[in-house]
Homo-oligomer: A and B are copies of this chain.
Amino acid sequence: MGYQLELRHFNYFLAVAEELHYRKAAEKLCISQPGLSRQIKQMEEILEVKLFVRTKKKVSLTAAGEYLKSEIEFILNHLEVTKKQLRHIRDGNFGEVRIGFLGSAMQEVIPDLLIKLKDKFPGIQTNLEELSNNAQINAIVKDKLDMGFVRTARVPEGLNIQPVYTDTFSVVLPELYPLLTREFRDVGQLAEENFILFAQDYSPLYFDTVMSICEDAGFTPKVSHKSVHAQTIFKLVENNLGIAIIPTSLQYGFQMKVKFIELKNIPQRAVLSVCWKEDNRNPALRHCINLLLNQSR
């Protein structure tokens, strides 16, 4: 009767909603099954809404339960972030920003940002994680990440995206490849080679752009290998397994027996963008974004 909804109910509800099995959920929560049953029942009474359908050995969510699940996930995650921020504030820090990035952002943009952050906002903690374009965007939507460095043109509704670094492309050739830089005119000369590219699902935009570079030069490349790490690509090139086209800045920081020819005369550019959720409540994020966008102009 005069009961009150509590966070405990939320955790119990989520466990059942995930397992769709009272005993298993109770085990996961380290409580007994009847206790769990009663709490869920109580929750339904408090909310005056049926959340689960128990029928013939099967537990399933009602429409309302489905909706509640996503909202509770949102609230509990928000709470976790808040707790973390609280500790940062207590320690005299301003907050934490969780940053996702593609490996290629580590060459220029991220070190720059970190140095400027340390200078202007020494209190802001950073938490870096290397992820694919899609993984970053999903994490940002779910508030698991505050911002991401991606190579993509379109993002879901509710996300903002701004270019922060524009790069030419370069061809990567084995060190002893019989073509001198001064003899190089355009990519068409490499039409017969095998190409090694970043995997399409890792960065669809990159993939399409490289294809368009080749098409502009009048051929369709034979793609022999796909990889997600620059190092792997360079290694393959070094071993004469093919050639590659990559964003120019990626060449720095590797010691490989390969040579680079920058494609200055084509219109395509590799654009690295920063992406964040419009309504992210993390105040430290705003400072980061401002630093990034002002420095690049």
Which residues from chain A sit less than 8 Å from chain B, CB to CB? 4-8, 47-50, 62-64, 67-68, 71, 74-75, 78-79, 82-83, 85-87, 89-90, 157-158, 277-279, 281
Contacts and interface: CB of A to CB of B under 8 A. Distances in A.
Number of identical protomers: 2
Contacts of A279: 158, 277-279
Q: Which of A74, A87, A278 has the most CB of B within 10 A?
A: A278
Given A79-B75, A278-B279, A86 B47 contact: yes
13 contacts: A4-B7, A5-B79, A48-B90, A49-B86, A49-B87, A63-B89, A64-B86, A67-B82, A67-B89, A74-B78, A78-B78, A278-B279, A279-B279
Contact of A68 (B64, B78, B86): B86
Nearest to A95: B67
Given A49-B89, A68-B82, A75-B82, 9 more contacts: A5-B7, A47-B86, A48-B87, A64-B86, A67-B82, A67-B85, A157-B278, A158-B279, A278-B278
Contact of A89 (B8, B64, B86, B281): B64
A278 to B, nearest CB: 5
Across the A-B interface, give the 7 residue pairs with the lowest CB-CB distance, nearest first.
A279-B279, A64-B89, A71-B82, A49-B90, A6-B6, A158-B279, A49-B86
A89 B50 CA distance: 10
A7 B6 CA distance: 5
Contacts of A8: 4, 6
A285 B63 CA distance: 18
A217 B113 CA distance: 53
Nearest to A158: B279
Contacts of A68: 82, 86
B50 A90 contact: yes
A128 to B, nearest CB: 24
A263 to B, nearest CB: 38
